[in-house]
Structure 1
Amino acid sequence: MAAILFDLDGTLIDSAPDIHAEANRTLAAERLPPLTFAQVRGFIGKGVPNLIARLLEASGQPFEGPQHDRMVARFTAAYETAVDLTVIYPQVVPALTALRAGGHRLGLVTNKPIRPTHAVLAHLGLDSLFETVWGGDSLAVRKPDPAPLLAGLEALGGGPAIYVGDSETDAETAARAGLPFLLYTEGYRKTPAEDLPQAGRFDDFRDLPGLVAGLLATQG
C-alpha cells in the first residue's frame, strides 16, 4: 500500500471559472479592465501572490508593491466563498474511493490557500477522502519547493509514495521531492505532456487505480 498525494486545482477539480470570476472582480476594484478566461487560466498553479502578479503584469501595472499586496488580500478574503462555479473532474470520486478501499492513504498538497482549500473540499463533499491537507500557506514555502509534499508524506506515515498532479509545477515538485509523478493531462498544463518528467499519465480517472498498481509493482 502507498501514500498517494494529490494536487487540487486542475487535477481533482476545475476551479478556473471561479478563479477567473474572482480575478476580474479584484481587477475591477482597482479600476482595471477584465482579462479573458484563457489568460487567467494560464496564471493558475503557483499560488495567489503569483496569480495577482500575473494579473497586474497582464494589465500593464507594476507587479510588486502596495497594489499587489492590496489585491492579494482582497482576492484571498473572497476566495474562500468562490466555489459556485467549481466542479469535480469526471470519475474522480470513484477513483479516490477505490484507492482508499485498496488500503492506500490519500493526502492533498495544493498551492491554494488552506482556508479556501477546506471550503471547496467541504462544498464538493471531498473532505472526508483525505487524511491530510496542505495549502499554499500551510508552510513558509509553497510548491515547487518540495517541503509541502514531504510534509504531506510524513503526515501519512511515509513509505512508498506517489504524487498526482496536472502541471509543470507539480512535475517539478515531485522531482525535487524524489517521488514518482503521475500526470493528469486534462488540467492547466501548458507544456506538452510528453515533455514533463513523469512515471505515467492519464486523461480519465478510471485509469488511475490501475496506473497506481502498475507503478507500485515496478517499485516492489
Structure 2
Amino acid sequence: MIAVIFDLDGTLIDSAPDIVANTNAVLQELGLGVLPPAQIKGFIGKGVGHLLHCVLEASGQVPDGPLHAPMQARFNQRYETAFEMTVIYPGVVKALDQLVEMGCALGICTNKPIAPTHAVLRHLGLAEYFPVVYGGDSLAVRKPDPAPLLAAVKDLGRDRVIYVGDSEVDAATADAAKLPFLIYTEGYRKTPVHDLPHDAAFNDFRQLPGLVGNLMKG
C-alpha cells in the first residue's frame, strides 16, 4: 500500500497573504517599514526563523540582532490565528477524497510550526485527512533535512511513499529521503521546474490522483 505525504503552504493551501500581512503588522509594531508582498513571499518555505532573518535583513537590520527575538515572539503569537485570507487550492479536497478511495494513507510534512499547522488544518476542514503531521518544530531539524519526512513515513507505515510539494526545499527533501517527488507548479517555487529533481509536475489537482496511480503501478 502507498502513502502520500504533502507539504502545506504553497502546496495544499495558499497562505502567503496571511503570512505577508502578519509579517508587515509585526514590522510596523517594531517601528519598521512594511515590505512588498512579493518580497516576503519569496522568503517563505524554510521556516519562521529563516523568514524573519530575511525580513530583518531586507529592512536594513542585523538579521540575528536584538530585534529577532521580539519579532519572532510577536509573529508566533499572531501566527496560530493568521488564516483569515488563507484558502485551499482548487481541486485539493476532491483529490484528497480520491486518494483515500484509492487506499492511500495521507500525511503532512511542512516547515510551518506545528501549532499553526494544526490550527489552519482545523480551520479549513482538512485535519481529518491527515493522521500524521510534522511541522517545522516537531523535531530538532527541519526540511530540507529529510528527518521529518522520514519520521512521517515511519508513522504512516506504508511500503511505498510519495512526497508532494511546491518548492526547492521540498524537492531537496524528497531527494535526500530518496522518495518519489511530485511538484505542484502553482505554489511558491522560484527555480524553473526543469532545474529541480522530480518525478512529475502538475498544475491542477485533478491531475494528482492519476499521477499517484501511475507511480503505484511502477
Q: Secondary structure at the match of 1:107?
A: strand
Partner of 2:23: 23
Partner of 2:57: 57
Q: Which runs of 5+ in 2 are unaligned?
A: none
User: Any idea what the Cα deviations from partners look like across 1:129-173, whole Å, max 9, x if unmatched?
Assistant: 112011100001100000000000001014100000000000000
Whole-Å separation in 2 of the counterparts to 1:201 and 1:119: 29
Partner of 2:4: 4
Counterparts of 1:43-192 in structure 2, within 5 Å, are 43-192=43-192
User: Any idea what the Cα deviations from partners look like across 1:113-137, whole Å, max 9, x if unmatched?
Assistant: 0010011001100000112011100
Q: Secondary structure at the match of 2:152?
A: helix
Q: Which runs of 5+ in 1 are unaligned?
A: none
Matched to 1:114, the amino acid is I
Paired residues in the alignment total 218
CA offset at residue 74 of structure 1?
Answer: 1.1
CA offset at residue 66 of structure 1?
Answer: 2.7
Whole-Å separation in 2 of the counterparts to 1:122 and 1:19: 18
Percent identity between the aligned chains? 62
Matched to 1:8, the amino acid is L
Whole-Å separation in 2 of the counterparts to 1:29 and 1:146: 36
TM-score of the aligned structures, taking structure 2 as reference length? 0.99
TM-score of the aligned structures, taking structure 1 as reference length? 0.98
CA offset at residue 11 of structure 1?
Answer: 0.1
CA offset at residue 80 of structure 1?
Answer: 0.2
Whole-Å separation in 2 of the counterparts to 1:171 and 1:25: 31
CA offset at residue 65 of structure 1?
Answer: 2.9
Matched to 2:10, the amino acid is G
Structure 1 consecutive aligned stretches of length 4 or more whose deviation exceeds 4 Å: none
Q: Secondary structure at the match of 2:96?
A: helix
